[in-house]
Copies of this chain bind each other. A is one copy, B any other.
Amino acid sequence: MKTYDALMEFSRETGALAQVAGRLGWDQETMMPAGAADQRAEEMAAMESVLHARRSDPRLAEALDHIDPQTLDQVGQAQLRHIRRAYDRAIKVPAALSSRIARVTSRAQGIWARARADEDVAAFLPILREVIALKREEGAALAAGGDLYDAMMDDYEPGATAAQLSAMYDALRPGLTELRAAVRAAPAPAPLDHVFDEAAQMALSTKLAQAFGYDLTRGRVDKAVHPFSSGSGQDVRITTRTNPRDPFNCFYSTIHEVGHAAYEQNISRDYLLTPLGAGVSMGVHESQSRIYENQIGRSRAFTGWLYGQMRDSFGDFGIPDEDSFYRVVNRVSDGFIRTEADELQYNLHVLLRFDLERALMSGDLPVDDLEAAWNDRFWADFGFAVDRPSNGVLQDVHWSIGVFGYFPTYSLGNVFAGCLNAAMRRDLPKLDDDLARGDTSAATGWLQAKVQIHGGLYEPRDLITRACGAAPSEAPLMAYLTEKFSDLYGLRP
């Protein structure tokens, strides 16, 4: 037990340092003066180097070999599993390769940003080819003979395999394209047409954050270009943004980030700063942000309450009643951009990227053919053509910074949210009565007890299976979307 205690103390200290590094990232997006960028890069690199040295410290291997897991309880065994996984990953990739990837992707991000601004795909492809070659080398080191793409995903969704995900996604895709086509053929409501005071948006945004259980004594809300959540435990901060013509952007960004933040805030206090003290995977994280945002936040019941709040804050903004408001909140329209996509179309954007990046990694898709492949797939799924690269293959930062295997976790989060929502609605048959009063506590309490409090105790799939009483499947999400949008658009279900 002495070795285990020492290992956990070391691990908590590493956890504390990781929180510090994370907070530097928050600072960079919210507070840092622009002229500090070079120095900040050195500060981040120094923190990463300290963290890497700790995660690959040979004393960890000695301690892990020395401890008999059978002498530990379930929590101790889970802690060991996380420490071993992080150690194994840390020692598999040669330091020289990691720093080459850091250097090349830092350059690639700049080239991508310029290429996107210039609508010049050709300018981006040579460096993308370089990034892909390096990431394949890294993937091969991590996979150690196993599947390269699965090894990459393991950073974001431990235990998930591409085979498992593509089975679900391939089942999802036809239903989504069909439902999308039917909805787009039906008459759509007009969008909002009003100017909404930005300070009032932030005030209501904070009220929404609190309505979803975000604890502001252990968090804060700032504005940033891209909304995000940052930190674990007692210091979990979110950002949002305002646009005078689009208050939904502010409100639903806030609710989405509160989903992430509440997950981190609600993990058992016992796990603070340990490997169990953070969200267990990107997919589970996204399930929380998505269920807060969509299945709860965009429900008929909750939008009824939100309509009253917006009337109180902004007066008459041109929407006559709750039912009309519900339709406007859930309006489906054509669009090129993943991050702006509605609940119905979002996963089609993700599935496209998932299939393309696997083909890039396997070598089946040459980089030179990437733009054509993107545009063909977009046409097939959305029924209209990409008009320019910034609306197509150049829209996301991920590939430029070497992030492969992350995209599928967005849709996995939606799949998990679908499963959780079905189970939650079974357990809480009167939930809509609460939501209609703006009271989310039964829903967020259910999610806290079933998912959030456990932190990293269970593996992601196992966690969702326990919460829902069944293994994850795309079926509940598809059923939910079909019912919701058929009803909204008057389709025959």
The interface of chain A, by Cβ under 8 A from chain B, is 12-14, 16-17, 19-20, 23-24, 27, 31-40, 42-43, 45-47, 49-50, 215-220, 233-235, 237, 272-273
Contact = CB atoms under 8 A, between A and B. Distances in A.
A455 B59 CA distance: 39
Contacts of A16: 39, 42-43, 45-46
Contacts of A19: 39, 43
Nearest to A222: B31
A37 B17 CA distance: 15
A12 B216 CA distance: 37
Nearest to A24: B20
Contacts of A17: 43, 46-47, 50
A273 B39 contact: yes
Given A31-B220, A216-B33, A12 B42 contact: yes
Nearest to A232: B39
Chain A to chain B: the 6 pairs with minimum beta-carbon distance, closest first: A36-B235, A35-B217, A16-B46, A35-B218, A39-B234, A36-B234
Q: How many copies of this chain sit in the oligomeric assembly?
A: 2
Most B CB within 10 A of own CB, among A17, A34, A220? A17
Contacts of A35: 215, 217-218, 234-235
Nearest to A34: B217
A10 to B, nearest CB: 10
Given A17-B47, A39-B233, A46-B16, A31 B33 contact: no
Given A33-B234, A35-B217, A36-B234, 15 more contacts: A13-B45, A13-B46, A13-B49, A14-B46, A16-B39, A16-B42, A17-B50, A20-B20, A20-B24, A23-B27, A32-B235, A33-B217, A33-B219, A38-B234, A39-B234
A341 to B, nearest CB: 32
A46 B45 CA distance: 17
Nearest to A272: B39
Contacts of A235: 32-33, 35-36, 39-40
